[in-house]
Amino acid sequence: MPLNIAIAGSGGRMGRTLIEAVMRDANMKLAAALEISGSPYLGKDAGEMIGTPCGVKITADVERALKGCDAIIDFTRPEGTLHHVALCRELGVKMVIGTTGFDDAGKKAIADASREIAIAMAPNFSVGVNVTFKLLELAAKSLNKGYDIEVIEAHHRLKVDAPSGTALRMGEVVAGALDRNLKDCAIYGREGVTGERKDDTIAFSTIRGGDLVGDHTVMFIGMGERVEITHRSSSRMNYATGALRAAQWVMSKKNGLYDMFDVLGFR
């Protein structure tokens, strides 16, 4: 039986890509398409977003739409995702969360809900990006002395949070491999007379422009050499196919909070 999938943020770029991915997948069925109240897409056929009508109307009635769904895939904004978390917890619907930018209270709400429902949450569901995370872990452990670390990310001009969730996760992976706490060693941008770089810091730089899908580079800069690990996305479809893989995987779990390392068997 195909999994009944709900897509949040159906009118957005990622929402449309997810709709296309679900409609292509023989193991998935688009059961619900969600948008916020006041959206110009409400009432439209979700399949029309990709040129293939499917009979599923886009709605803002989340509770009604989620009934009968196995899982929701949510790449929206923290406030919307947290509303969905509360309803999924109540209805027993599993979740794949690609939303970034949660504060500590939001993260706690998701962790609390995961005691009752299974949630796969990651800043990036691309298989390639998660392989990159693993490579960064290895690099950091090997280049653990005498190397300065810079994380550079670039996204489209409409992205609202910075640094990206993927860049922050890269920083966390590197910091963890070096037995550091990212909150204690991160530097976000530089301006003016900053003085010499301090040892054991991890710095972030952000670029926003045009229609860039997502580029991430981590530089390990030593005296006389530089190691760069880069991932570039040219399409959102790789995020969508990874999210579908996570949705399929999370169905085997009763509850708990997981990420793509769990889905890919990296732990």
pLDDT in tens, 168-227: 999 999 999 999 999 999 999 899 999 999 999 999 999 999 999 999 999 999 999 999
Q: Do residues 228 and 78 lie in contact, with contact meaning Cβ atoms separated by under 8 Å?
A: no
Mean pLDDT confidence for 245-254:
97
pLDDT of residue 174: 98
In this structure, the answer to whether residues 116 and 146 fall within a common structural domain is no
Is residue 108 annotated as a catalytic residue, yes or no? Answer: no
Is residue 159 annotated as a catalytic residue, yes or no? Answer: yes
In this structure, the answer to whether residues 138 and 160 fall within a common structural domain is yes
Whether residue 148 has pLDDT greater than 90: yes
Q: Which of 44, 155, 216, 231 is catalytic?
A: 155
In this structure, the answer to whether residues 39 and 17 fall within a common structural domain is yes
Domain count, the chain: 2
In this structure, the answer to whether residues 76 and 103 fall within a common structural domain is yes
Q: Which of 29, 57, 159, 253 is catalytic?
A: 159
In this structure, the answer to whether residues 254 and 175 fall within a common structural domain is no
CATH of the domain at 9: 3.40.50.720
pLDDT of residue 201: 97
Q: What percent of the chain has pLDDT over 90?
A: 93
Please give the structure tokens belonging to residue 134: 């693993």
The torsion angles phi and psi of 173, rounded to 5 degrees, stand at: -60, -45
Q: What is the residue whose two structure tokens read 């977003």?
A: 49
Per-residue DSSP letters for the chain?
Answer: --EEEEESSTTSHHHHHHHHHHHH-TTEEEEEEE--TT-TTTTSBGGGGGT---SPBEES-HHHHHTT-SEEEE-S-HHHHHHHHHHHHHHT-EEEE------HHHHHHHHHHTTTSEEEE-S---HHHHHHHHHHHHHHHHS-SS-EEEEEEEE-TT--SSS-HHHHHHHHHHHHHTT--HHHHEEE---S---SPPTT-EEEEEEE-TT--EEEEEEEE-SS-EEEEEEEES-THHHHHHHHHHHHHHTT-SSEEE-HHHHTT--
What predicted TM-score, i.e. pTM, was given to this entire model? 0.84
pLDDT of residue 123: 87
CATH of the domain at 196: 3.30.360.10
pLDDT of residue 1: 86
Residue 51 belongs to domain spanning: 3-121+236-263
